[in-house]
Amino acid sequence: MKKIIKHLWPIFFLAMILSGSALSPDDQEKSSARINPRQFTASLIGHAHIDLSWLWLWEETVHEVGPMTFWGTLRQMNRMPGLTFAQSQAAIYEATEKNYPDLFQEIGKKVKEGTWIPVGGMWVEADLNMPDGESLARQLLYGKRYFLDKFGVEVRAGWNPDSFGHNWQLPQILKKAGIDYYVFERCAPEKTIIFWWEGLDGSRLLAYVPPGWYLVNLKNGVRDLLLRSYENAPIRDFMLLYGAGDHGGGPRDTDVEAILKFRNEPGHPRLEFVNPENYFRQIEKLKARYPVVKRELNFAFPGCYTTQVETKKFNRRLENLLLEAELVFNRPVKRIRILDSSGAEIPSQMLLVDEESGQLKAKVIFIAERVPSLGFKTYRVIESKAAPKYKTSLVVSKKSIENEFLKLALGPKTGWWKSLMDKKNGREFLSAAGNVLEAVADEPPNMSAWEMELKEIQERLGERGASVKVLEKGPVRATVRVEHNFRNSKLVQDIQLYAGVPRVEVRVWMEWQERNIIIKSSFPAALKDPVATFEIPYGAISRPAVGNEVPAIKWIDLTDSQGQAGLSLLNDSRYGFDVKDNVMRMSLIRGATYPDPEADRGKHELAYALYPHSGTWKEGLSFRRAMEFNSQLRAHQALIHPGSLEPAKSFFRISPENVVLTAFKKETGYGSSGFVVRMYEVCGREAEVRLELPKEMEVYEADLIERPGARVGLKTKAITLRVKPYEIKTLLLR
């Protein structure tokens, strides 16, 4: 064996020469000559690597780690004049500024003095592989701006000693942010302390790997550390980061004591306090040949790429939203398309609201058909390059407005409804001008907030003319606006039809200033001997049509005596009605003077609708149309993503249609885990009711106080039970 080695040695030595690995004269000096330690310099910079949140919360960093580190560092600075300290991460500076202004002021003094040095230029010491490029650009934007605004400091030294890898575009990103130098530790080229890091595009910056890691303890001196470092770098001046880190701390008492001990010792390297940027400028001027590294500097701790995935997912969502959110500001999206859960496009209409403030605020309307009961349906909104064109049944002018169900003729000078035609059945529903706002004198002798004494009609708004114009003409909704001026008040009506919806809606805005006057909206119905029906709590009843003011909730109805057709008046907030001579009237606003002489003065908004139907209100399901009008769908905006739920789902379903659900709530009581369902039958017909539940439950009948009675079903997801005509039924689900 020895013989073989003897013969191989010359070959091995020759290979070293050919490969360029032979010892250079400088290397020979390092290995053979005894070097005086005083020829080396330890350029010291106090440091406290602070993980803003790792095994502790951000609040602990703000109120314990930061103040403890910074007050302690200031104490060491006062103890040892000239001591320098580098701190990155604008986020911790801002937290200090907000919560501890006295401490922040002291830091500012040291920054001005030149001993406290902001470094990094980023908002935090970021991960440099998973955030996208724009995120890193914003880190630098916000970080550097902060240091400039607060301290007037242009940070030029990048600082990420604990990041778990460094992407190959980072040199360019840093350079374009005015960062010329880079301090880091993890994923450094082997046995390389200082080098030119060349990015993917050719950008270069001077990179430095501090010897001894980023929290050197100076207690035992640094001679051996510098001698080892000299073997891997063509310099004799090494910047060292010393001080306690991770949970903060900064320069230790032992560090200060060591500096005092070793700074003048003949057998120890010289110790100097340094500003990192000045250090880089100094070694940059040297004629040393630093290696060039052209690659990414990765990888460390790859398990982190798929740990805490929810945090990463939300970070990605925010990154994706950033561009979209700012394009609200920079490039308003004026054309969209809406797709249902099957991917089919449905007609939509964008309503511009405000574009003057630099922001585009808009409402988008579309018809959401067949949404499951007590559930949801998913739609996607995407940008359209061109204005979408849809076939629509809507036709509108100052004289008429129509969809596939109804045609409404308007007086172009008055705004009154001249005709309301059911197009499919060829039936007229108005016998005279409808939706006429009647101003009626209302002068009770006393207690005017309680009593009414209606006298003659003072004016029919519009008979002296009104402003009538087409406001909207789209594939989803058409609107004609009618404006009335009455004495010192103004009333605006938006008369609307939607494609696919068999009712006419009216939105009313009022600036009301009148006293002892009531405004009623009237609808003369073309019906023979009609029966007037009014909604009451948990039901509906018929009343004599004698013209007296009576209460109703969401709807009233006139149906002809033969039960062939009817006209329902729906509303969103009014309760006073009268019916006489085939005319329905709804009270919109009053001007009572006692006990509050200013009652109802000011702005008001309300809505109502006229719904023609075949058959009686029962067949026409007027009670359901009124519920839809009052409890409209709520839209919740979300990001486009695969999701974990079905695109459409019902959480609770009840049938048949004449049974109305009024409550689905948690059981009242401490520690109770059940749910309460309440329903009633509205049409006066006994029904077999089927309930489809969200999961298997035990079902009990209960009273209105939610006390359980007989058990209806045991561990079931669907039950059937009998409900009597007009019966209110309460169930307890557990």
Cα–Cα nearest to 514, from 533, 491, 537, 543 = 491
Q: Is 401 exposed, middle or buried (0-12, 13-18, 19+ CB in 10 A)?
A: buried
Report the alpha-carbon distance of residue 702 to residue 322 in Å, rounded. 52
Nearby residues of 588 by Cβ (< 8 Å), 6 or more positions away: 437, 508, 510, 519, 520, 521, 574, 606
Q: What does the block give as tokens for 350?
A: 């964008």
User: Do residues 567 and 558 touch, judged by C-beta distance below 8 A?
Assistant: yes
Q: Which residue type occupies 552?
A: A
Q: At 689, which helix (H) or strand (E)? A: strand 687-702
pLDDT in tens, 116-155: 999 999 999 999 988 887 888 888 888 988 999 999 999 9
Q: What does the block give as tokens for 523?
A: 């609808």
Strands 504-512 and 602-614: antiparallel
Q: Is 319 exposed, middle or buried (0-12, 13-18, 19+ CB in 10 A)?
A: middle
pLDDT in tens, 288-322: 999 999 989 988 887 777 677 457 677 776 776 66
Nearby residues of 262 by Cβ (< 8 Å), 6 or more positions away: 218, 221, 222, 268, 271
How far are the Cα atoms of 148, 153, 156, 164 from residue 143, in angstroms, in the given order? Answer: 9, 11, 12, 20
- Residue 17: the pLDDT is 26
Q: What CATH class has 46-300?
A: alpha beta
Q: Answer whether the bond into residue 299 is a cis peptide, omega within 30°.
A: yes
- Residue written as tokens 């990179």? 207
Question: Which positions of the chain have pLDDT values less than 50?
Answer: 1-32, 309, 326-327, 329-331
Report the alpha-carbon distance of residue 516 to residue 655 in Å, rounded. 47
Q: Which residue type occupies 102?
A: D
Looking at CATH, the fold of the domain delimited by 652-733 is given as Immunoglobulin-like (2.60.40)
- Residue 10: the pLDDT is 32
How far are the Cα atoms of 77, 259, 266 from residue 221, in angstroms, in the given order? Answer: 20, 8, 13
To 5 degrees, how large is the angle CA 369–CA 372–CA 373? 120
- Residue 393: the pLDDT is 95
Cα–Cα nearest to 278, from 41, 35, 91 = 41
Report the alpha-carbon distance of residue 24 to residue 12 in Å, rounded. 17
Looking at CATH, the fold of the domain delimited by 395-630 is given as Beta-galactosidase; Chain A, domain 5 (2.70.98)
User: Do residues 592 and 449 touch, judged by C-beta distance below 8 A?
Assistant: yes
CA-CA-CA-CA torsion sign (609, 613, 617, 618): negative
- Residue 126: the pLDDT is 92
Q: Is 44 exposed, middle or buried (0-12, 13-18, 19+ CB in 10 A)?
A: buried
Domain boundaries, the chain: 46-300, 332-383, 395-630, 652-733
- Reported pTM: 0.58
Cα–Cα nearest to 365, from 384, 346, 343, 378 = 346
